[in-house]
Amino acid sequence: LCLQVFDSQGSDVTPLPLVAVVDDPDPKTREKSSLEEVLFKKGSSIFKSSTPTDVVSSRYGDIQTHKPINMEGHSMFIGTPDKIFLEIIRFVLLLLSEFPRKPVAEGFDIILSETDTISLLDLPPTLVSEDAEDADAVKQRNRDYAEFCSSKMGSDNFFERSSQTLVGEHKCKYTQTDTNKSVNKGTIATTWDIYDSFSMSTENRETRESERVDYLTRTRNKQDVSEVTMSRETGKSFSENQAYFFGVSSAAETDADLFMLKTESNLEKILSSEAFMKSVSIMERVIVLNIFQPKLAAFRGLPNEEDEERITEEKGHYLTPTLEPLWTFVSPLTRGHNITCMTWNKKNPDILAVGYVGGSSGNPQPGLICCWSLKNLVWSERVFSCHSSVTCLEFSSSNPSHLAIGMYDGSVAIYNVQVGDDTACIANSRDCAKRHTQPLQLSGEEREEVLVSVSGDGRITKWLILHNDFNCVDLMILKRSSGQGRKQSIGGGRKQSIGGGRKQSIGGGRKQSIGGGHMHKCSLSNSDHFLDTYCKHPSPVTHIEWSPIYSDVFLSTSSDGTIQLWKVDTLNPKMSFTSVQSIVDSVKWSPNCGTVFAAIYRHRVEVWDLCQSIMRPTLVHHAEPGVTLSSLLFAKGSDSILVGDSRGEVTVYKLKNFRVGKPKKVNKLVGKLATQENLIICWISFSLKCICKHQANL
């Protein structure tokens, strides 16, 4: 480490350090050797020499070059050129760190200071004495040189010439920055001011809360003693952690804590506000729509880009009709509940109400109704729980937000779905007795809408709401045609008079089926006996469905696996459809197309298109193993079917490749169904979803 600088002659011109040892309490002034000398003079000459060394050794303890130095409160000046300087520092630190120091009362200071000026180039003039031998020569040379310099001015050998340094062209570059807003603030904290602020802050903390809330965003952790004099900043500070730390006393700090708590509770209040719930639900809908956009587009029949390509490729082929699953309405609440019924809202066709059975079908337990909206496919908009399993439900046409449900224990309730959680009307469970209530609703044109229910005890009752009272009136009591005494379930069919002109008695006639395979037609005006009886099915009829387009055609299904197509006037079925020996749970006509209907068997869905074939279904879709399909619904205006199953899921399927082929046997069908009353039905079924019916005479 010993660094020495020698000049050309070899003499040691190592720059000497400044005074190394100062504030030396030791009176021994001979102690001039710097620490550096001690450190760097490797030879232990220092230590072996006489008095100075003794002094050194006594002073510094027992040392060799790498033993600790006792530096009791010295301040050391170390001034050397850079590299040396670093080396020294390194060495010192090494010493200090490696070896335990004797406990030092005070630390020691390393003071770094400037070096002397180091001259890098020094050409001293040579001094020649007058008496030297070459003094004359030197003089002459000097004179020559002076002449030369002076002659340079006008001589031809030299001329002045300017040269140009090329300066690069300036380029204008435009930038744009935000202006840095600056605010000047000044404050004078006088003693009285401080006192005032403190005393005020402890007294009226609450009254000034609102002001403080505004300050919160600007200065999060700021507790300003002279808050009164502080002006508001105009710029906004977004960082939460922007801290203006002022010296605060403990009292001010507790202020800050309380202040923070209060503002945080304000923030939390935002979260629980109603407007926020609305925003959150909007957000959820938007996100869900994003996810399901292609499916919803398919549901609505909007052309999807990929589909179009495929269609153009395969245009000539006849593709098998299939059901393409789009999405599923399911939520954790509804898992495992069998679905019994589904219906669309009359006014807003995007809202679907689904009724669930609570628990297993054996023991009636509280059921569920969920209202789903097409805007949010993931979570149901409303969930209502009822005291018993739901067997059927229906939206009202005149009050579109009223939903009437019939329950397993025979009671009927009306819910107002606009309200989140309420029952609009009381559920009446006294009058109407037994099971399988199926409320029906008449859609009377002029008259008021009436809620009518049919139940398994053979009564048809009309329900009225009078002064918040839910009352029922028996319209008719069905007598069992054969007194077999076995349990008989009654289903009902709704009659819609479409196409006008066909006035019936009050609201229209009815058809009911009684177990045993008979179907009876009754009308409201004539409540004593049935008008007609239709017998064909050997086993109980499970479902009857009127055609929404042809007002006197209906389908009946039964547990013998057949579907019969009837016309009102004839007591024998016009057509019969069989495919599989399995109980047919339900059948529904398609609202879009007059010749299409779908039927649910326990484990499959079949879609029949009478234009294409009356012998076999056009489309068969099997359910997943272990799942029983229980409910079916068409979507109006869209080529889709909703299927509810025993898992509590409603799956939406799109009818794909349906009606691609040309219709066959149109005439035959027309011939079959046309009656002598000039019921002319012509089915134009080339294009999708286009049906016209001319019904004369009626």
How near is the Cβ of 241 to other proteins at its closest, in Å?
9
The residue within the footprint of other proteins, chosen from 138, 288, 660, 680 (CB under 8 A), is 288
Do the Cβ atoms of 564 and 555 come closer than 8 Å?
Answer: yes
Closest contact distance (angstroms) between CB of 377 and other proteins is 11
Nearest to 57 by CA among 78, 74, 29, 33: 33
Applying CB under 8 A, among 286, 473, 682, 684 the residue interacting with other proteins is 286
Tokens of 543: 């479902």
Residue entry with tokens 């197309």: 593
Which residues fall within 8 angstroms of residue 29, CB to CB, at 6 or more apart? none
Residues numbered 219 to 248 that lie near other proteins (CB under 8 A) are: 236, 238-240
Cα–Cα distance, 575 to 570 (Å, whole number): 12
Of the pair 138, 297, the CB lying nearest other proteins is at 297
Among 145, 148, 276, 318, binds other proteins (CB under 8 A): 276
Closest CB 284 distance from other proteins, rounded Å: 6
Residue 668 zone, left/alpha/beta (φ > 0; ψ -120 to 50; rest): alpha
Q: Does 282 bind other proteins (CB under 8 A)?
A: yes
Write the CB contacts of 439 (distance below 8 Å, at least 6 apart in sequence): 392, 393, 394, 404, 405, 406, 412, 451, 452, 453, 454, 463
Strand order in the sheet with 469-477: 438-442, 450-454, 459-466, 469-477
Which of 24, 193, 233, 284 is in the footprint of other proteins by CB under 8 A? Answer: 284
Q: Binding to other proteins (CB under 8 A): which residues in 596-655?
A: none
Q: Is 634 helix (H, G, I), strand (E, B) or coil?
A: strand
The residue (of 220 and 347) whose beta carbon lies closer to other proteins is: 220
Give the residue with the Cβ less far from other proteins, 306 or 528. 306
- Integer angstrom CA distances of residue 617 from 134, 227, 322: 134, 83, 12
**In this complex, which beta carbon is closest to other proteins, that of residue 235 or of residue 500?**
235
What part of residues 311-330 is at the interface with other proteins (CB under 8 A)? none
Query: What three-state secondary structure class fits 226?
Result: coil
**Site of tokens 């006509």:** 589
Q: Which strands sit side by side in the sheet containing 640-645, from one edge to the other?
A: 322-329, 650-656, 640-645, 629-634
Among 5, 19, 146, 287, binds other proteins (CB under 8 A): 287
Nearer residue to other proteins within complex by CB, 294 or 661: 294
- CB 286 → other proteins: shortest distance, Å? 5
> In angstroms, what is the minimal distance from the CB of 268 to other proteins?
7
List the one residue from 281, 328, 385, 628 that touches other proteins (CB under 8 A).
Answer: 281
Q: Candidates 279-287, 390-398, 403-411, 445-453: pick the segment binding other proteins (CB under 8 A).
A: 279-287
Tell me how far, at minimum, the Cβ of 279 lies from other proteins, in Å: 4
Q: Which helix (H) or strand (E) holds 545?
A: strand 541-546
Contact 18, 77 (CB under 8 A): yes
| Residue 307 makes contact with other proteins by CB under 8 A | no
The residue from 1, 86, 283, 688 that contacts other proteins (CB under 8 A) is 283
Sole window of 140-148, 283-291, 427-435, 583-591 interacting with other proteins (rule: CB under 8 A): 283-291
Shortest separation between residue 342's beta carbon and other proteins, angstroms: 24
Residues 407 and 391: their CA atoms lie apart, in Å, by 5
Give the CB-side neighbour count of residue 659, counting CA atoms within 13 A.
Answer: 21
Q: Return the structure tokens found at 517.
A: 């395979």
Give the long-range contacts of residues 476-482, CB within 8 A, separation 24 or more. 476/522, 476/524, 476/527, 478/512, 478/514, 478/520, 478/522, 480/514, 481/514, 481/516, 481/518, 481/520, 481/533, 482/516
The answer to whether 639 touches 590, Cβ cutoff 8 Å, is no
Terminal Cα-to-Cα distance of the chain (whole angstroms): 122
Of 78-86, 221-229, 291-299, 581-589, the window that binds other proteins (rule: CB under 8 A) is 291-299
Q: How far is the CB of 601 from other proteins (least distance, A)?
A: 34
Length of the chain: 698
Interface of this chain with other proteins, residues 124 to 163, rule: CB under 8 A = none
Closer residue to other proteins (CB): 297 or 670: 297
* Segment near other proteins (CB under 8 A); pick from 99-107, 286-294, 457-465, 543-551: 286-294
- Residue 282 or 419 having the CB closest to other proteins: 282
Q: How far is the CB of 309 from other proteins (least distance, A)?
A: 17
Name which of 283 and 477 has its Cβ closer to other proteins.
283
Of these, 112, 194, 277, 473, which contacts other proteins (CB under 8 A)? 277
Q: Minimum Å distance from CB 238 to other proteins?
A: 4
Q: Binding other proteins by CB under 8 A: which of 5, 19, 22, 280?
A: 280
CA distance 17 to 22: 13
- Comparison of 222 and 689: residue with beta carbon closer to other proteins: 222
| Residue nearer to other proteins on the CB measure, 297 or 571 | 297
Which of residues 334 and 411 has its CB atom nearest to other proteins in the complex? 334
> Looking at residue 229, what DSSP letter applies?
G
We find the least distance from the C-beta atom of residue 224 to other proteins, in angstroms, to be 18
Closest approach of other proteins to the CB of residue 331, in Å: 10
- Asked if 503 interacts with other proteins (CB under 8 A), we say no
- Which of 140, 231, 254, 279 lies at the binding interface for other proteins (CB under 8 A)? 279
Q: By CB under 8 A, which span of 147-155, 165-173, 281-289, 633-641 interacts with other proteins?
A: 281-289
Q: Which residue has the tokens 């869900």?
A: 288
Phi, psi of 514 (to 5 degrees): -120, 150
Looking at residues 243 to 272 of the shown chain, list those that interact with other proteins (rule: CB under 8 A). Answer: 267-268, 270-272
String of contacts with other proteins for each residue 365-404, x by CB under 8 A = -------------xx-------------------------
The DSSP bridge pattern shows strands 629-634 and 619-622 to be: unpaired
126 DSSP assignment? P
Closest approach of other proteins to the CB of residue 255, in Å:
19
Residue of 138, 216, 248, 433 that binds other proteins (CB under 8 A): 216
Q: Cβ 357 to other proteins, closest distance in Å? A: 26
β-bridge partners, 474: 461
Side-chain-side CA neighbours of 389 within 13 Å: the count stands at: 20
Residue from the set 123, 127, 183, 275 that interacts with other proteins by CB under 8 A: 275
**Where does this chain touch other proteins (CB under 8 A) — which range of 285-293, 355-363, 465-473, 651-659?**
285-293
Nearer to other proteins, 200 or 216 (CB): 216
Give the C-alpha separation, 574 to 571, whole Å: 9
65-84: contacts with other proteins (CB under 8 A): none
d(CA 69, CA 90): 15
Q: Dump the DSSP string for 12-38.
A: B-PPPPS--B-S--S--TT----HHHH
Cβ 370 to other proteins shortest distance, Å:
16
Q: With b meaning 16 or more CB within 10 Å and e meaning fewer, what string describes 474-483?
A: ebbebeeeee
Residues that bind other proteins (CB under 8 A): 216-217, 236, 238-240, 267-268, 270-273, 275-277, 279-284, 286-288, 290-291, 293-294, 378-379
